[in-house]
Amino acid sequence: MHWSKQLIPTLREVPQEAEIPSHQLMLRAGLIRKLSAGLYTFLPLGFRSLKKVERIVREEMDRAGALEILMPALHPQEIWENTGRFDVLKDVMFKIKDRQERKLVLGPTHEEIVTDLVSHEINSYRQLPVNLYQIQTKFRDEIRPRFGLMRAKEFIMKDAYSFDADWDGAEKSYQAMYEAYKRIFKRCGLRTKIVEADTGAMGGSSSHEFMVLADAGEDGLVECGSCPYAANLERAESVLRSAVTFDGAEKMPEVVATPNRRTVQEVSNFFKSSPARLIKTLIYMADDKPVAVLVPGDREVNEIKLNRALSAKSLVLADNPTIARVTGAPVGFAGPVGLSLPIYADHKLKGYQGAITGANQADAHLVNVDLERDAKVTQFVDVTSAKGGDGCPRCGNGTLNEKRGIEVGHVFKLGTKYSEKLSALYKDAEGKEHPAIMGCYGIGVTRTLQAVIEQCFDTDGIIWPITIAPYSVEVLVINAQHAESAKVSVEIVAALKAAGIDVLYDDRDERPGVKFKDADLLGIPIRVNVGEKSLAKGVVEIKMRKTKELRTVPVAEAVNKILSTIRELNDEING
Amino acid sequence: MHWSKQLIPTLREVPQEAEIPSHQLMLRAGLIRKLSAGLYTFLPLGFRSLKKVERIVREEMDRAGALEILMPALHPQEIWENTGRFDVLKDVMFKIKDRQERKLVLGPTHEEIVTDLVSHEINSYRQLPVNLYQIQTKFRDEIRPRFGLMRAKEFIMKDAYSFDADWDGAEKSYQAMYEAYKRIFKRCGLRTKIVEADTGAMGGSSSHEFMVLADAGEDGLVECGSCPYAANLERAESVLRSAVTFDGAEKMPEVVATPNRRTVQEVSNFFKSSPARLIKTLIYMADDKPVAVLVPGDREVNEIKLNRALSAKSLVLADNPTIARVTGAPVGFAGPVGLSLPIYADHKLKGYQGAITGANQADAHLVNVDLERDAKVTQFVDVTSAKGGDGCPRCGNGTLNEKRGIEVGHVFKLGTKYSEKLSALYKDAEGKEHPAIMGCYGIGVTRTLQAVIEQCFDTDGIIWPITIAPYSVEVLVINAQHAESAKVSVEIVAALKAAGIDVLYDDRDERPGVKFKDADLLGIPIRVNVGEKSLAKGVVEIKMRKTKELRTVPVAEAVNKILSTIRELNDEING
Direct distance between the N- and C-terminal alpha carbons of chain B, in angstroms, rounded to an integer: 29
What residues of B are in contact with residue A106 (Cβ under 8 Å)?
A: 96, 106
What residues of A are in contact with residue B154 (Cβ under 8 Å)?
A: 72-74
What residues of A are in contact with residue B69 (Cβ under 8 Å)?
A: 7, 41-44, 47
Mean pLDDT of B463-490: 98
What residues of B are in contact with residue A91 (Cβ under 8 Å)?
A: 99
Chain A, nearest residue to B113 by Cα: A35
Mean pLDDT of A25-45: 97
Q: What is the pLDDT of residue B198?
A: 77
CA-based nearest distance A175→chain B, Å: 19
* Burial zone of A178 (CB within 10 Å; 0-12 exposed, 13-18 middle, 19+ buried): middle
Q: What is the pLDDT of residue A235?
A: 87
What residues of B are in contact with residue A122 (Cβ under 8 Å)?
A: 7
Of A9, A98, A126, the CB nearest to B141: A98
Kindly state the helix (H) or strand (E) to which residue B60 belongs, with its residue range: helix B44-63
Pairing of strands A130-139, A67-68: parallel
Pairing of strands B130-139, B67-68: parallel
pLDDT at B517 over 70: yes
* Burial zone of A147 (CB within 10 Å; 0-12 exposed, 13-18 middle, 19+ buried): buried
Contact A154 B72 (CB under 8 A): yes
Instruction: Decide if A322 contacts A285 (C-beta within 8 A).
Output: yes
CA-based nearest distance A44→chain B, Å: 5
CA distances from residue B225 to A227, B242, B521 in whole angstroms, order as listed: 82, 18, 36
CA-based nearest distance B508→chain A, Å: 11
Confidence at B206, pLDDT banded by 50, 70, 90: confident
Residue in B33, B40, B45, B74 to test binding to A, most A beta-carbons within 10 Å: B74
Q: What is the pLDDT of residue A396?
A: 85
**Percent of chain B topping pLDDT 90:** 92
The string of pLDDT tens digits covering residues A68-95 is 999 999 999 999 999 999 999 999 999 9
pLDDT at A388 over 70: yes
Q: Say whether A483 sits in a helix, a strand or coil.
A: helix
Distance of CA A436 to the CA centre of its chain: 28
Confidence at B534, pLDDT banded by 50, 70, 90: very high
Residue in A41, A48, A97 to test binding to B, most B beta-carbons within 10 Å: A41
The string of pLDDT tens digits covering residues A131-170 is 999 999 999 999 999 999 999 999 999 999 999 999 999 9
Quote the CA–CA distance of B216 and B42 in Å, as a whole number: 22
Of A6, A41, A68, the CB nearest to B117: A41
Asked if residue A129 has a cis previous peptide bond (ω within 30° of 0), the answer is yes
**What is the number of other CB atoms lying within 10 angstroms of the CB of residue A553?**
19
Contact A35 B73 (CB under 8 A): no
Chain B, nearest residue to A122 by Cα: B9
Chain B, nearest residue to A140 by Cα: B98
- Give the DSSP letter of residue A201: G
Contact A41 B72 (CB under 8 A): yes
Quote the CA–CA distance of B86 and B93 in Å, as a whole number: 8
Mean pLDDT of B328-344: 95
CA-based nearest distance B21→chain A, Å: 22
Residue in B10, B98, B154 to test binding to A, most A beta-carbons within 10 Å: B98
Contacting residues for A297 by C-beta, under 8 A, at least 6 apart: A264, A267, A268, A274, A275, A276, A277, A278, A279, A280, A356
Q: What is the pLDDT of residue B235?
A: 87
Contact B96 A95 (CB under 8 A): yes
Contact A75 B36 (CB under 8 A): yes
Instruction: Decide if A342 contacts A380 (C-beta within 8 A).
Output: no
**How does DSSP assign B61-108, residue by residue?**
HHHTT-EE-B--SEEEHHHHHHTTHHHHHTTTS-EEE-TT--EEEE-S
Question: pTM score > 0.90 for this model?
Answer: yes
Rounded to the nearest 10 degrees, how much is the dihedral formed by the CA atoms of A11, A14, A18, A20?
A: 110
**What is the number of other CB atoms lying within 10 angstroms of the CB of residue A173?**
28
Quote the CA–CA distance of B271 and B366 in Å, as a whole number: 11
Quote the CA–CA distance of B502 and B476 in Å, as a whole number: 14
CA-based nearest distance B215→chain A, Å: 28
Of A70, A94, A120, the CB nearest to B98: A94
pLDDT at B188 over 90: yes
**A311 vs B493, which has greater pLDDT?**
B493
Chain A, nearest residue to B34 by Cα: A117
Quote the CA–CA distance of A37 and B70 in Å, as a whole number: 16
Rama region for B203: left / alpha / beta (φ>0; ψ in -120 to 50; rest): left
Rounded to the nearest 10 degrees, how much is the dihedral formed by the CA atoms of B86, B87, B90, B92?
A: -100
Mean pLDDT of B21-44: 97
Contact B69 A47 (CB under 8 A): yes
**What is the number of other CB atoms lying within 10 angstroms of the CB of residue B437?**
25
SS3 content of chain A, % helix, strand, coil (to 5): 30, 30, 35
Confidence at B201, pLDDT banded by 50, 70, 90: low
What residues of B are in contact with residue A75 (Cβ under 8 Å)?
A: 35-36, 39
Confidence at B157, pLDDT banded by 50, 70, 90: very high
Chain A, nearest residue to B143 by Cα: A99
Quote the CA–CA distance of A306 and A302 in Å, as a whole number: 6
Contact A75 B35 (CB under 8 A): yes
Distance of CA A300 to the CA centre of its chain: 22
Burial B199-215 (b: 16+ CB within 10 A, else e): bbebbbeebbbbbbbbe
Confidence at A216, pLDDT banded by 50, 70, 90: confident
Residues present in chain A in total: 575
**How does DSSP assign A232-295, residue by residue?**
ETTT---B--S-SB-TTTTSPPEEEE-TT--SHHHHHHHHT--GGGBEEEEEEEETTEEEEEEE
Confidence at B204, pLDDT banded by 50, 70, 90: low
Quote the CA–CA distance of B422 and B410 in Å, as a whole number: 23
The string of pLDDT tens digits covering residues A420-479 is 999 999 999 999 999 999 999 999 999 999 999 999 999 999 999 999 999 999 999 999
Quote the CA–CA distance of B10 and B24 in Å, as a whole number: 11
The string of pLDDT tens digits covering residues A217-263 is 989 999 999 999 999 988 899 998 888 899 988 999 999 999 999 99
* Burial zone of B241 (CB within 10 Å; 0-12 exposed, 13-18 middle, 19+ buried): exposed
Q: Of B523, B524, B538, which is closest to residue B484 (Cα–Cα)?
A: B538
Q: What is the 3-state secondary structure (H, E, C) of A452-471?
A: HHHHCEECCEECCCCCCCCC
What residues of A are in contact with residue B132 (Cβ under 8 Å)?
A: 7
Q: What is the pLDDT of residue B569?
A: 97
Chain B, nearest residue to A6 by Cα: B67
Q: What is the pLDDT of residue B137?
A: 98
Of B96, B137, B143, the CB nearest to A73: B137
What residues of B are in contact with residue A62 (Cβ under 8 Å)?
A: none
* Burial zone of B100 (CB within 10 Å; 0-12 exposed, 13-18 middle, 19+ buried): exposed
Q: What is the pLDDT of residue B286?
A: 93
Quote the CA–CA distance of B435 and B241 in Å, as a whole number: 45
Contact A70 B47 (CB under 8 A): yes
User: Cα angle at A149 between A145 and A152, to 5 degrees?
Assistant: 35
Chain B, nearest residue to A93 by Cα: B98
Q: What is the pLDDT of residue B242?
A: 84
Distance of CA A90 to the CA centre of its chain: 21
What residues of B are in contact with residue A39 (Cβ under 8 Å)?
A: 72, 74-75
Beta carbon pairs, A and B, within 8 Å: 135
**What is the number of other CB atoms lying within 10 angstroms of the CB of residue B398?**
18
pLDDT at B180 over 80: yes
What residues of A are in contact with residue B71 (Cβ under 8 Å)?
A: 35, 41-42
What residues of B are in contact with residue A69 (Cβ under 8 Å)?
A: 7, 41-44, 47
Contact B153 A98 (CB under 8 A): yes
CA distances from residue A549 to A86, A464, A492, A525, A546 in whole angstroms, order as listed: 55, 15, 20, 11, 8
Domains in chain A with CATH codes: 17-236+402-453 (3.30.930.10), 254-381 (3.90.960.10), 471-574 (3.40.50.800)
Q: Say whether B541 sits in a helix, a strand or coil.
A: strand
Average pLDDT, chain A: 95
Contact A36 B76 (CB under 8 A): yes
Q: Say whether B148 sits in a helix, a strand or coil.
A: coil
What residues of B are in contact with residue A67 (Cβ under 8 Å)?
A: 6-7, 44
CA-based nearest distance A249→chain B, Å: 52
* Burial zone of B429 (CB within 10 Å; 0-12 exposed, 13-18 middle, 19+ buried): exposed
Contact B5 A41 (CB under 8 A): no
CA-based nearest distance B69→chain A, Å: 5
The string of pLDDT tens digits covering residues B85-144 is 999 999 999 999 999 999 999 999 999 999 999 999 999 999 999 999 999 999 999 999
Asked if residue B129 has a cis previous peptide bond (ω within 30° of 0), the answer is yes
What residues of A are in contact with residue B158 (Cβ under 8 Å)?
A: none
What residues of B are in contact with residue A71 (Cβ under 8 Å)?
A: 35, 41-42
CA-based nearest distance A405→chain B, Å: 27
Pairing of strands A103-106, A425-427: unpaired
Contact B47 A39 (CB under 8 A): no
Chain B, nearest residue to A152 by Cα: B72
Pairing of strands A379-381, A343-346: parallel
What residues of B are in contact with residue A41 (Cβ under 8 Å)?
A: 69-72, 113, 117
Of B47, B121, B137, the CB nearest to A137: B137
Burial A365-394 (b: 16+ CB within 10 A, else e): bbbbbbbeebbebeebbbbbbbbeebbbbb
Confidence at A204, pLDDT banded by 50, 70, 90: low
pLDDT at B72 over 80: yes
pLDDT at B23 over 90: yes
Quote the CA–CA distance of B248 and B51 in Å, as a whole number: 66
Q: What is the pLDDT of residue A313?
A: 81
* Burial zone of A271 (CB within 10 Å; 0-12 exposed, 13-18 middle, 19+ buried): middle
Of B47, B72, B127, the CB nearest to A68: B47
Average pLDDT, chain B: 95
Out of A195-209, A278-292, B3-17, B281-295, pick the least confident: A195-209
Q: What is the pLDDT of residue B485?
A: 97
